Structure 1
Amino acid sequence: MAKRERGRRALQDEVSRRIQQIYEIGEDGAKVRVPAPVPHARDARGRNWNMTGFGNASGYEASIRAVVDKVRDEFDLSDAPENRAPNPFGD
């Protein structure tokens, strides 16, 4: 099955939504800061992006990594112009 493509913001939102559904995080009322995905060359598992540097994630690292890896398996980061962050200095 082919992966669906998503832009940076859509992937960040999806990971954030799934992280907030983790039982321990919801139970503790923690608000985890989710970084933007970082593109990289396709790896052995066919993934082309990753996320690191979550804020307020102490104690939840393994659960968060599981969520990120699942989303990486489902979606590719698209670099289509409409999915790129706007350049604040113009083109």
Structure 2
Amino acid sequence: MIRKTLNASRLQSEVSRRLHRIHEIVEDGVKIAVPRPQKQEPDASGCNWTMKHFGNAKGFERFVDEVLTAARAEYNLSDTDDSKDIRSLFGE
């Protein structure tokens, strides 16, 4: 399967969106803190990113693992840096 490419912010948002639509998480009213994806050398499957240290996920690790596994199979992290230098917004 060919992976789609997303920048770090969009990948983080996608994982968060998928987590927070799971019935058990919605039902318990839990807000899981999703970390930014970290670039790594492609693994055996070809995935070039990982996420570690999800916040407030105790008891929901199975769901985090399932979402992370699915997202890693579907997406790769782009090489472009999506962080903006605020000074450039003001022409400095």
What TM-score bracket applies, with the shorter chain setting the length?
Answer: 0.7 to 0.9
Q: Could you say which structure has the larger radius of gyration?
A: 2
Deviations 1:35-82 (Å, cap 9, x if unpaired)?
0000100001111101111111000011111101100100100012xx
Tell me the distance in 2 between the aligned counterparts of 1:72 and 1:40. 12
CA positional deviation for 1:23: 1.5
Unmatched segments (≥5 aa) in structure 2:
none
Structure 1: 5+ residue runs without aligned partners? none
Instruction: Give runs of aligned pairs for residues 1-91 of structure 1, distance below 5 A.
Output: 1-80=1-80, 83-87=81-85
Letter of the structure 1 residue corresponding to residue 35 of structure 2: P
Cα distance between partner residues in 2 of 1:84 and 1:24: 32
Percent identity between the aligned chains? 41
What is the CA–CA distance in structure 2 between the aligned matches of 1:62 and 1:72, rounded to whole Å?
15
Question: Structure 1 segments of 4 or more deviating over 6 A?
Answer: none
Equivalent AA in structure 1 for residue 83 of structure 2:
A
* C-alpha distance in structure 1 between counterparts of 2:35 and 2:84, whole Å: 17
> Counterpart of 2:32 in structure 1: which amino acid?
V
Normalising by structure 1, what TM-score? Answer: 0.88
What one-letter code is carried by the residue in structure 1 that aligns with 2:28? D
